[in-house]
Structure 1
Amino acid sequence: MATKAPETVQQYLSDVESAAEEVITTQQEVVTLDRRRNTNREALRSLRSNAAVSATTGSGGRSWICVGNMFLRMPREFVVESIEKEQKQLDTEINNLRNSLRGKVNKLNDLEGKEETRGTSLRPLSQDEWCAVRQALGK
């Protein structure tokens, strides 16, 4: 039975721990950004429902927004547009992190000598692909 040098074992454990830390950090970033995205979605819903109430009562179209550590009263349309832009940016960041997470998990599995996790390379069909499927099925 061949024995491995302690340095080799230590390097192996260090590599595995580093890869695992990357996976955990990326997962935590996704969770944090997703919470922020949910908060923005709640804010948009509230702004839109308040806009409907304001339209019927004739009150002003300005809303409060928190920028850094300041609260500013801005036109409602500007606030909604800003939040929608941030939503798109958050969606992009979350998708990029999730895509990079697949590679990081596969790297960790390789280091641990495990098989690649099945289904991690799957992606949903795009709108165009769905249209093609519907046409092929005659719907």
Structure 2
Amino acid sequence: MAKEESDLDKAMEILYDIEKVGEKIIIDKELIIDFDRRRNKNREALRSIQQKKPEKVWLCFGNMFVRAYTDKAKEIIEKDQAHLDTNINALRDSIKENYNDLKRIEGKETDDSFKLKALNSKEVEALSDLLPKVVL
């Protein structure tokens, strides 16, 4: 009887861990969607500023509106864009780690292909310089 309770406790613990990691993945995905919406709104605002070229614009910070010079507003929006990009990339990395944790908890092999990173522009440029020299 004690062994059955022990097995049941292990199963419940595994299910709890799976649920906990799954919730983290879902929350991170929802945050990415929210940040991406905000990033798109910022992109629209930057585009509008470029087309209309007003002297001053209104910015919304939470529930407060502030009027600022266009150059300053553009700088603030661009900083926010960089901050959002950083947050989105961090969340994507977190999802990858949580996905591997989930696989480990389930007793399955982790997927190492998630650890791949895209090449940045400098790496692509260096690679393109090497490719003409390499004969396939």
Q: Provide the alpha-carbon RMSD of the alignment.
A: 1.7
The residue number in structure 2 matching 1:7 is 9
The residue number in structure 1 matching 2:74 is 80
The residue number in structure 2 matching 1:123 is 117
Tell me how far apart the structure 1 counterparts of residues 65 and 79 of structure 2 sit (CA, whole Å): 19
Runs of 4+ that moved beyond 4 A: none
1:49 aligned partner, one-letter code: Q
TM-score by length of 1: 0.85
User: Which range moved further: 113-122 or 7-16?
Assistant: 113-122
Tell me how far apart the structure 2 counterparts of residues 42 and 83 of structure 1 sit (CA, whole Å): 11
Tell me how far apart the structure 1 counterparts of residues 13 and 7 of structure 2 sit (CA, whole Å): 10
Q: 2:30 aligns with which of 28, 31, 39?
A: 28
Pairs aligned (count): 130
Greater helix fraction, Structure 1 or Structure 2: 2
CA deviations on 1:24-57 (whole Å, 9 max, x unpaired) are: 1111111111111111111111111111xx5xxx
- Structure 1 unaligned segments of length 5 or more: list them: 55-60
Tell me how far apart the structure 1 counterparts of residues 132 and 64 of structure 2 sit (CA, whole Å): 56
Residues 46-57 of structure 1 aligned to structure 2 (within 5 Å): 46-51=48-53, 54=54
TM-score by length of 2: 0.87
